[in-house]
Amino acid sequence: MRQAGIWGVGRYVDGKVVTNKEFEKTLDTNDEWIRTRTGIEQRVFAHEDINTSDMAYYAALEALENAEVKAEDLDMILVATVTPDYPFPSVSSLIQHRLGATKAGAMDLSAACAGFIYGIATAAQFIATGAHKNVLIIGAEKLTQWTDMDDRNTAVLFGDGAGAVVMGPVSQDKGLLAHELGSDGEGAMHIKKEEFVEMNGREVFKFAVRQMGETCVNVVEKAGLSKKDVDFLVPHQANIRIMEAARERLELPKEKMAVTVAKYGNTSSSSIPIALVEELKNGKIKDGDLVVMVGFGSGLVWGGAALRWGR
């Protein structure tokens, strides 16, 4: 069985920057209230003529260049999204054609904000068995198209964006060491979309605080390691209080956790890879570091991964 790791990363976060102050004009809310409860200061709304597949494509280009992999050498494309351009065809098929990845299979995954973790766990199985060598995983969302901008409970939370990684075989001491995927469908109606996104914030908060921390600890233990071995945490960027709870379970100092929620808000399946790119650029994740990634979302679903960075 081969070890599967991340070869390269990319992201796309471009559009209109919307600060908390702008919501004060239309909603019964204010900048201090939003910051205190969520940690969000601003978010990016994609331009109207930009679709989920466009953002995914631009993130993919950057990841392929960073990994030094050609599109025609890809074996599989996995796109995690709950906001596809169309019910079908899939975003992944649109990307496959646009990239010119003529050898690649393509499929979308729907696991909401945990989708990226589901994607890398799925890719790792293809790589470990030798079925595939080069796999592109993208998390991409245009959540603002499904957000009721008159709802003070959800309008301030979401942004748009895409993040991508290329995975392939790595040395035996690197790559994905352990993962956990889970679901609790009893809480399915706590986050749902009818006409717009609806959320039972209180119940989601309680679930996320408990599950994010438990999953972090679980994947570290599955890897045969302990909390003191963790070098960096990349959590789903939904709410700073939930993120802090996960960090505290791992007993990590604040500087060892990725925090991009203030700049981009909650971008669902793209939040973890977007944050990953940010912290790599900041030099906070280095070769050989043990990185824990964890996410949760509608379903209710969750996913976590422990990964030794490098090739």
Task: Please list the active-site residues.
Answer: 113, 236, 266
Q: Nearest Cα to 277, choosing from 62, 110, 81, 86?
A: 62
Q: How far apart are CA 25 and CA 46, in angstroms?
A: 20
Structure tokens of 254?
């604040």
Question: Within a 10 A sphere around the Cβ of 250, how many other Cβ atoms?
Answer: 21
**3-class secondary structure, 74:** coil
> Helix H segments across the chain?
20-23, 31-38, 52-67, 91-99, 115-129, 201-222, 240-249, 261-264, 271-281
Q: How far apart are CA 203 and CA 111, in angstroms?
A: 19
- Classify strands 232-235 and 290-297 as parallel, antiparallel or unpaired: parallel
What number of residues does the chain have? 311
Q: Is the dihedral of CA 201, 250, 114, 157 positive or negative?
A: positive
Cα angle 159, 190, 87 (rounded to 5 degrees) comes to: 60
Q: Which amino acid is at 74?
A: L
Q: How far apart are CA 171 and CA 146, in angstroms?
A: 42
Q: How far apart are CA 138 and CA 78, in angstroms?
A: 6
Which of the 8 DSSP states describes residue 301? E
Contact between 99 and 224 under an 8 Å Cβ cutoff? The reply is no
Structure tokens of 165?
């990684």
**3-class secondary structure, 2:** coil
